[in-house]
Chains A and B, each alone.
Chain A
Amino acid sequence: MKKRIGVQFRKTRKTKHAFERIQACKRCHTYHVLWDTHCETCRRAYTPVREVSAAVTRRYVQTRFLLLGLFVCLAILCATTLTEIAIAIGVGLLFVCLFFVIQKKYGSYEKDAQLQTFFSQEEEALKKSFLYHLEQVGADVKAGQIKEAYEKTREIGYFVDSDTIKIRKIMFLNHFVLRKDMELELETLIPSTYDKDFMEYLREVVKVQPSLVKKAVLDYVRRYKAQILLLENGEQLIGQVAGAALRMRAYVEEYQDLIIEFIDYLPRERLLRLAKMIRDHRNENWEQLYHFAKNRVDTHFAFDPDFKGVL
Protein backbone atom coordinates (compact mmCIF):
# COMPACT_ATOMS: atom_id res chain seq x y z
CA MET A 1 0.00 0.00 0.00
CA LYS A 2 1.51 3.11 -1.14
CA LYS A 3 2.11 5.98 1.16
CA ARG A 4 -0.38 8.77 0.89
CA ILE A 5 0.63 12.31 1.41
CA GLY A 6 -1.29 15.04 3.10
CA VAL A 7 -1.93 18.05 0.86
CA GLN A 8 -4.05 21.12 0.73
CA PHE A 9 -5.73 21.56 -2.62
CA ARG A 10 -6.04 24.91 -4.19
CA LYS A 11 -9.51 26.29 -3.87
CA THR A 12 -11.45 25.98 -7.10
CA ARG A 13 -13.22 28.96 -8.44
CA LYS A 14 -16.95 28.56 -8.30
CA THR A 15 -18.68 29.61 -11.45
CA LYS A 16 -22.22 29.23 -12.58
CA HIS A 17 -21.17 28.02 -16.00
CA ALA A 18 -18.11 26.21 -17.19
CA PHE A 19 -17.35 28.72 -19.94
CA GLU A 20 -16.85 31.39 -17.34
CA ARG A 21 -13.67 29.61 -16.41
CA ILE A 22 -12.15 30.03 -19.86
CA GLN A 23 -9.79 32.90 -20.35
CA ALA A 24 -8.29 34.04 -23.62
CA CYS A 25 -5.02 35.60 -24.60
CA LYS A 26 -6.00 37.97 -27.38
CA ARG A 27 -2.55 38.21 -28.81
CA CYS A 28 -1.52 34.59 -28.83
CA HIS A 29 -4.95 33.25 -29.73
CA THR A 30 -4.78 30.69 -26.91
CA TYR A 31 -7.16 29.75 -24.14
CA HIS A 32 -6.53 29.06 -20.51
CA VAL A 33 -8.68 27.34 -17.88
CA LEU A 34 -6.21 27.27 -14.98
CA TRP A 35 -5.63 29.89 -12.34
CA ASP A 36 -2.96 31.99 -14.17
CA THR A 37 -3.89 35.58 -14.78
CA HIS A 38 -1.27 36.36 -17.42
CA CYS A 39 -0.19 34.58 -20.55
CA GLU A 40 3.15 32.84 -20.02
CA THR A 41 4.17 33.57 -23.65
CA CYS A 42 3.39 37.24 -24.06
CA ARG A 43 2.76 38.25 -20.43
CA ARG A 44 -0.50 39.94 -21.40
CA ALA A 45 -3.39 39.61 -19.02
CA TYR A 46 -5.95 37.02 -19.88
CA THR A 47 -9.39 38.18 -20.83
CA PRO A 48 -12.50 36.23 -19.93
CA VAL A 49 -13.81 34.60 -23.03
CA ARG A 50 -17.13 36.26 -22.58
CA GLU A 51 -15.49 39.61 -22.82
CA VAL A 52 -13.68 38.58 -25.97
CA SER A 53 -16.91 37.38 -27.52
CA ALA A 54 -18.60 40.59 -26.46
CA ALA A 55 -15.86 42.55 -28.23
CA VAL A 56 -16.40 40.51 -31.37
CA THR A 57 -20.11 41.15 -31.15
CA ARG A 58 -19.54 44.83 -30.66
CA ARG A 59 -17.28 44.99 -33.71
CA TYR A 60 -19.80 43.08 -35.73
CA VAL A 61 -22.44 45.63 -34.85
CA GLN A 62 -20.05 48.44 -35.68
CA THR A 63 -19.25 46.85 -39.03
CA ARG A 64 -22.92 46.61 -39.85
CA PHE A 65 -23.39 50.19 -38.90
CA LEU A 66 -20.44 51.29 -40.99
CA LEU A 67 -21.74 49.30 -43.94
CA LEU A 68 -25.08 51.00 -43.61
CA GLY A 69 -23.30 54.33 -43.42
CA LEU A 70 -21.27 53.43 -46.47
CA PHE A 71 -24.35 52.68 -48.51
CA VAL A 72 -25.94 55.92 -47.44
CA CYS A 73 -22.77 57.85 -48.33
CA LEU A 74 -22.62 56.17 -51.70
CA ALA A 75 -26.24 57.04 -52.27
CA ILE A 76 -25.44 60.67 -51.50
CA LEU A 77 -22.44 60.57 -53.83
CA CYS A 78 -24.52 59.15 -56.64
CA ALA A 79 -27.20 61.78 -56.27
CA THR A 80 -27.28 64.20 -59.16
CA THR A 81 -29.85 66.72 -57.96
CA LEU A 82 -30.41 68.59 -54.76
CA THR A 83 -33.63 66.69 -54.18
CA GLU A 84 -31.86 63.38 -54.42
CA ILE A 85 -29.19 64.51 -52.02
CA ALA A 86 -31.84 65.66 -49.55
CA ILE A 87 -33.70 62.39 -49.85
CA ALA A 88 -30.48 60.39 -49.45
CA ILE A 89 -29.46 62.34 -46.36
CA GLY A 90 -32.94 62.17 -44.83
CA VAL A 91 -33.42 58.50 -45.46
CA GLY A 92 -29.89 57.80 -44.36
CA LEU A 93 -30.39 59.53 -41.06
CA LEU A 94 -33.63 57.66 -40.63
CA PHE A 95 -31.89 54.35 -41.21
CA VAL A 96 -29.17 55.24 -38.76
CA CYS A 97 -31.76 56.07 -36.11
CA LEU A 98 -33.62 52.85 -36.80
CA PHE A 99 -30.38 50.96 -36.55
CA PHE A 100 -29.70 52.34 -33.13
CA VAL A 101 -33.25 51.67 -32.00
CA ILE A 102 -33.10 48.08 -33.19
CA GLN A 103 -29.73 47.64 -31.60
CA LYS A 104 -30.86 48.98 -28.29
CA LYS A 105 -33.97 46.84 -28.23
CA TYR A 106 -32.63 43.55 -29.47
CA GLY A 107 -28.90 43.86 -29.24
CA SER A 108 -28.53 41.98 -26.00
CA TYR A 109 -29.79 38.78 -27.55
CA GLU A 110 -26.98 38.91 -29.97
CA LYS A 111 -24.28 38.61 -27.33
CA ASP A 112 -25.24 35.12 -26.19
CA ALA A 113 -25.81 33.89 -29.72
CA GLN A 114 -22.49 35.33 -30.67
CA LEU A 115 -20.85 33.53 -27.74
CA GLN A 116 -22.15 30.21 -28.95
CA THR A 117 -20.94 30.97 -32.45
CA PHE A 118 -17.67 32.09 -31.02
CA PHE A 119 -17.15 28.76 -29.34
CA SER A 120 -18.00 26.95 -32.52
CA GLN A 121 -15.46 29.04 -34.39
CA GLU A 122 -12.81 28.64 -31.71
CA GLU A 123 -13.28 24.92 -31.20
CA GLU A 124 -9.91 23.99 -32.61
CA ALA A 125 -8.10 26.63 -30.62
CA LEU A 126 -9.84 25.54 -27.44
CA LYS A 127 -8.94 21.91 -27.97
CA LYS A 128 -5.41 22.87 -28.71
CA SER A 129 -5.27 24.82 -25.46
CA PHE A 130 -6.62 21.85 -23.49
CA LEU A 131 -4.04 19.62 -25.07
CA TYR A 132 -1.41 22.03 -23.95
CA HIS A 133 -2.79 21.89 -20.41
CA LEU A 134 -2.60 18.11 -20.52
CA GLU A 135 1.02 18.37 -21.54
CA GLN A 136 1.58 20.57 -18.55
CA VAL A 137 -0.05 17.92 -16.40
CA GLY A 138 2.25 15.34 -17.89
CA ALA A 139 5.22 17.52 -17.08
CA ASP A 140 4.00 17.90 -13.50
CA VAL A 141 3.65 14.16 -13.16
CA LYS A 142 7.16 13.68 -14.43
CA ALA A 143 8.36 16.26 -11.98
CA GLY A 144 6.54 14.43 -9.20
CA GLN A 145 4.16 17.31 -8.59
CA ILE A 146 1.05 15.22 -8.27
CA LYS A 147 -0.93 17.84 -6.41
CA GLU A 148 -0.45 20.40 -9.24
CA ALA A 149 -1.15 17.69 -11.74
CA TYR A 150 -4.42 16.85 -10.00
CA GLU A 151 -5.41 20.48 -9.65
CA LYS A 152 -4.84 21.11 -13.35
CA THR A 153 -6.61 17.94 -14.34
CA ARG A 154 -9.48 18.94 -12.11
CA GLU A 155 -9.77 22.22 -14.00
CA ILE A 156 -9.67 20.41 -17.30
CA GLY A 157 -12.24 18.03 -15.98
CA TYR A 158 -14.80 20.82 -15.79
CA PHE A 159 -14.86 20.73 -19.57
CA VAL A 160 -13.78 17.28 -20.59
CA ASP A 161 -15.42 14.34 -18.87
CA SER A 162 -13.74 11.51 -20.60
CA ASP A 163 -12.77 8.38 -18.68
CA THR A 164 -9.15 9.28 -19.27
CA ILE A 165 -9.45 12.47 -17.32
CA LYS A 166 -11.46 10.81 -14.57
CA ILE A 167 -9.02 7.99 -14.16
CA ARG A 168 -6.12 10.41 -14.07
CA LYS A 169 -7.81 12.39 -11.38
CA ILE A 170 -8.55 9.22 -9.43
CA MET A 171 -4.97 8.12 -9.71
CA PHE A 172 -3.75 11.49 -8.58
CA LEU A 173 -6.22 11.54 -5.68
CA ASN A 174 -5.14 8.11 -4.55
CA HIS A 175 -1.79 9.65 -3.79
CA PHE A 176 -3.28 11.90 -1.14
CA VAL A 177 -4.64 11.57 2.36
CA LEU A 178 -8.25 12.54 2.18
CA ARG A 179 -9.64 14.74 4.85
CA LYS A 180 -13.00 16.08 5.72
CA ASP A 181 -11.93 19.68 5.09
CA MET A 182 -10.77 18.99 1.53
CA GLU A 183 -12.75 19.94 -1.46
CA LEU A 184 -13.27 16.46 -2.79
CA GLU A 185 -15.22 15.18 -5.71
CA LEU A 186 -16.86 11.85 -6.27
CA GLU A 187 -19.67 11.97 -8.73
CA THR A 188 -17.51 13.64 -11.37
CA LEU A 189 -15.04 10.83 -11.10
CA ILE A 190 -17.37 7.94 -11.83
CA PRO A 191 -15.91 6.12 -14.84
CA SER A 192 -18.06 4.43 -17.43
CA THR A 193 -16.64 1.01 -16.57
CA TYR A 194 -15.51 -0.73 -13.39
CA ASP A 195 -12.29 0.71 -12.12
CA LYS A 196 -10.34 -0.59 -9.19
CA ASP A 197 -8.70 2.70 -8.47
CA PHE A 198 -12.03 4.34 -8.28
CA MET A 199 -13.11 1.80 -5.70
CA GLU A 200 -9.99 2.49 -3.76
CA TYR A 201 -10.77 6.15 -3.85
CA LEU A 202 -14.39 5.51 -2.96
CA ARG A 203 -13.34 3.55 0.03
CA GLU A 204 -11.35 6.50 1.32
CA VAL A 205 -13.69 9.26 0.42
CA VAL A 206 -16.78 7.58 1.88
CA LYS A 207 -15.03 7.57 5.18
CA VAL A 208 -14.45 11.29 5.27
CA GLN A 209 -17.23 12.73 3.16
CA PRO A 210 -20.06 10.22 2.94
CA SER A 211 -22.31 13.03 1.76
CA LEU A 212 -20.60 12.81 -1.61
CA VAL A 213 -22.29 9.48 -2.21
CA LYS A 214 -25.19 10.17 -4.46
CA LYS A 215 -27.40 8.29 -6.78
CA ALA A 216 -24.79 7.92 -9.52
CA VAL A 217 -22.37 6.36 -7.07
CA LEU A 218 -25.02 4.03 -5.68
CA ASP A 219 -25.95 2.93 -9.17
CA TYR A 220 -22.32 2.33 -9.98
CA VAL A 221 -21.86 0.21 -6.82
CA ARG A 222 -25.01 -1.74 -7.48
CA ARG A 223 -23.94 -2.33 -11.10
CA TYR A 224 -20.47 -3.54 -10.29
CA LYS A 225 -21.36 -5.26 -6.95
CA ALA A 226 -19.91 -8.55 -8.04
CA GLN A 227 -16.52 -7.01 -8.90
CA ILE A 228 -16.51 -5.01 -5.71
CA LEU A 229 -17.15 -8.11 -3.64
CA LEU A 230 -14.00 -9.60 -5.09
CA LEU A 231 -12.02 -6.83 -3.53
CA GLU A 232 -10.58 -7.19 -0.08
CA ASN A 233 -13.17 -5.89 2.32
CA GLY A 234 -15.50 -5.41 -0.52
CA GLU A 235 -18.54 -6.10 1.61
CA GLN A 236 -17.46 -3.48 4.08
CA LEU A 237 -17.08 -0.99 1.29
CA ILE A 238 -20.52 -1.69 -0.07
CA GLY A 239 -21.85 -1.58 3.45
CA GLN A 240 -20.31 1.85 3.95
CA VAL A 241 -21.71 3.09 0.69
CA ALA A 242 -25.08 1.69 1.61
CA GLY A 243 -24.74 3.37 4.97
CA ALA A 244 -24.01 6.67 3.25
CA ALA A 245 -27.20 6.16 1.22
CA LEU A 246 -29.25 6.20 4.41
CA ARG A 247 -28.82 9.93 4.35
CA MET A 248 -31.94 10.36 2.28
CA ARG A 249 -35.23 8.48 2.50
CA ALA A 250 -35.42 8.45 -1.29
CA TYR A 251 -32.19 6.51 -1.46
CA VAL A 252 -33.49 4.06 1.18
CA GLU A 253 -36.57 3.57 -0.88
CA GLU A 254 -34.63 2.96 -4.05
CA TYR A 255 -31.65 1.05 -2.82
CA GLN A 256 -33.28 -1.11 -0.08
CA ASP A 257 -32.12 -4.27 -1.84
CA LEU A 258 -28.56 -3.13 -1.47
CA ILE A 259 -29.16 -2.12 2.09
CA ILE A 260 -30.85 -5.42 2.87
CA GLU A 261 -28.05 -7.39 1.27
CA PHE A 262 -25.34 -5.64 3.09
CA ILE A 263 -27.22 -4.86 6.30
CA ASP A 264 -24.73 -6.89 8.21
CA TYR A 265 -21.98 -4.53 7.14
CA LEU A 266 -23.72 -1.36 8.09
CA PRO A 267 -21.96 0.52 10.86
CA ARG A 268 -23.87 0.73 14.17
CA GLU A 269 -24.82 4.36 13.75
CA ARG A 270 -26.11 3.76 10.32
CA LEU A 271 -28.16 0.79 11.45
CA LEU A 272 -29.63 2.88 14.23
CA ARG A 273 -30.50 5.59 11.71
CA LEU A 274 -32.09 2.99 9.48
CA ALA A 275 -34.13 1.57 12.37
CA LYS A 276 -35.35 5.02 13.23
CA MET A 277 -36.20 5.76 9.66
CA ILE A 278 -38.14 2.51 9.39
CA ARG A 279 -39.91 3.24 12.59
CA ASP A 280 -40.86 6.73 11.46
CA HIS A 281 -41.68 6.05 7.86
CA ARG A 282 -42.59 2.42 7.71
CA ASN A 283 -44.87 1.46 4.86
CA GLU A 284 -45.88 -1.62 3.04
CA ASN A 285 -42.84 -1.28 0.69
CA TRP A 286 -40.44 -1.41 3.56
CA GLU A 287 -41.68 -4.68 5.10
CA GLN A 288 -38.74 -6.67 3.98
CA LEU A 289 -36.41 -3.97 5.05
CA TYR A 290 -38.11 -3.88 8.39
CA HIS A 291 -37.80 -7.58 8.71
CA PHE A 292 -34.12 -7.67 7.99
CA ALA A 293 -33.42 -4.65 10.05
CA LYS A 294 -35.31 -6.07 12.99
CA ASN A 295 -33.54 -9.31 12.60
CA ARG A 296 -30.20 -7.60 12.62
CA VAL A 297 -31.08 -5.47 15.57
CA ASP A 298 -32.46 -8.45 17.50
CA THR A 299 -29.50 -10.61 16.80
CA HIS A 300 -26.70 -8.16 17.35
CA PHE A 301 -28.02 -5.13 19.13
CA ALA A 302 -30.70 -6.60 21.51
CA PHE A 303 -28.80 -5.35 24.49
CA ASP A 304 -27.98 -1.93 23.00
CA PRO A 305 -30.04 0.59 24.90
CA ASP A 306 -30.14 2.93 21.79
CA PHE A 307 -31.94 0.29 19.76
CA LYS A 308 -34.49 -0.50 22.44
CA GLY A 309 -38.02 0.14 21.41
CA VAL A 310 -37.01 1.38 17.95
CA LEU A 311 -38.35 -1.59 15.95
Chain B
Amino acid sequence: MLTYFLLFAAFLLLAVRFFKLLRLKRRNLSAAEIDQHLHRLLNEKRNQP
Protein backbone atom coordinates (compact mmCIF):
# COMPACT_ATOMS: atom_id res chain seq x y z
CA MET B 1 0.00 0.00 0.00
CA LEU B 2 2.83 2.33 0.85
CA THR B 3 4.31 1.65 -2.56
CA TYR B 4 1.26 3.09 -4.22
CA PHE B 5 1.26 6.09 -1.97
CA LEU B 6 4.85 6.83 -2.86
CA LEU B 7 4.19 6.37 -6.54
CA PHE B 8 1.31 8.76 -6.19
CA ALA B 9 3.61 11.26 -4.51
CA ALA B 10 6.05 10.91 -7.40
CA PHE B 11 3.20 11.48 -9.80
CA LEU B 12 2.20 14.60 -7.93
CA LEU B 13 5.74 15.88 -8.15
CA LEU B 14 5.77 15.31 -11.88
CA ALA B 15 2.37 16.92 -12.31
CA VAL B 16 3.36 19.99 -10.32
CA ARG B 17 6.49 20.33 -12.39
CA PHE B 18 4.57 19.99 -15.60
CA PHE B 19 2.03 22.63 -14.67
CA LYS B 20 4.71 24.97 -13.45
CA LEU B 21 6.61 24.71 -16.71
CA LEU B 22 3.39 25.12 -18.65
CA ARG B 23 2.65 28.30 -16.71
CA LEU B 24 6.12 29.62 -17.48
CA LYS B 25 5.70 28.84 -21.11
CA ARG B 26 2.44 30.77 -21.20
CA ARG B 27 4.02 33.72 -19.49
CA ASN B 28 6.89 33.67 -21.99
CA LEU B 29 9.22 35.93 -20.14
CA SER B 30 11.56 37.96 -22.35
CA ALA B 31 15.06 39.19 -21.64
CA ALA B 32 13.81 42.77 -21.82
CA GLU B 33 11.39 42.12 -19.03
CA ILE B 34 14.16 40.62 -16.99
CA ASP B 35 16.25 43.68 -17.62
CA GLN B 36 13.42 45.90 -16.52
CA HIS B 37 12.90 43.80 -13.43
CA LEU B 38 16.58 44.11 -12.59
CA HIS B 39 16.45 47.83 -13.19
CA ARG B 40 13.45 48.12 -10.92
CA LEU B 41 15.15 46.13 -8.22
CA LEU B 42 18.27 48.24 -8.28
CA ASN B 43 16.56 51.60 -8.46
CA GLU B 44 13.76 51.12 -5.94
CA LYS B 45 16.02 51.72 -3.00
CA ARG B 46 18.75 53.79 -4.40
CA ASN B 47 22.23 52.91 -3.36
CA GLN B 48 23.83 55.83 -1.59
CA PRO B 49 26.91 57.45 -2.92
Residues of A within 8 A of B (CB): 16-19, 64, 67-68, 71-72, 74-76, 78-80, 84, 87-88, 91-92, 95, 98-99, 102-103, 105-107, 109-110, 112-113, 115-116, 119-120, 123, 126-127, 130-131, 134, 159-162, 164-165, 168
Contacts and interface: CB of A to CB of B under 8 A. Distances in A.
| B interface SS class | helix
Given A95-B10, A102-B17, A106-B22, A19 B34 contact: yes
Contacts of B48: 131
A124 B25 CA distance: 28
B7 A72 contact: yes
Contact of A110 (B13, B24, B38): B24
A78 B3 contact: yes
A67 B13 contact: yes
B47 A130 contact: yes
| A interface SS class | helix
A109 B38 contact: no
Interface of B: 2-4, 6-7, 9-11, 13-14, 17-18, 21-22, 24-25, 27-35, 37-39, 41-43, 45-49
A38 B32 CA distance: 27
B25 to A, nearest CB: 5
A202 to B, nearest CB: 23
The list of the 9 closest CB pairs from A to B, nearest first, reads A106-B21, A75-B6, A71-B10, A78-B2, A109-B24, A17-B35, A112-B29, A79-B3, A109-B25
Contacts of A71: 6-7, 9-10, 13
B13 A68 contact: yes
A151 B49 CA distance: 16
A95 B49 contact: no
B36 to A, nearest CB: 9
A18 B28 contact: no
B24 A160 contact: no
Given A78-B2, A99-B17, A116-B34, A106 B41 contact: no
A116 B49 contact: no
B31 A162 contact: no
Nearest to B28: A109
11 contacts: A16-B31, A18-B39, A19-B34, A75-B3, A75-B4, A75-B6, A91-B10, A113-B27, A119-B37, A160-B42, A161-B43
A119 B39 CA distance: 10
Contacts of B6: 71-72, 74-75, 78, 88
A46 B25 CA distance: 30
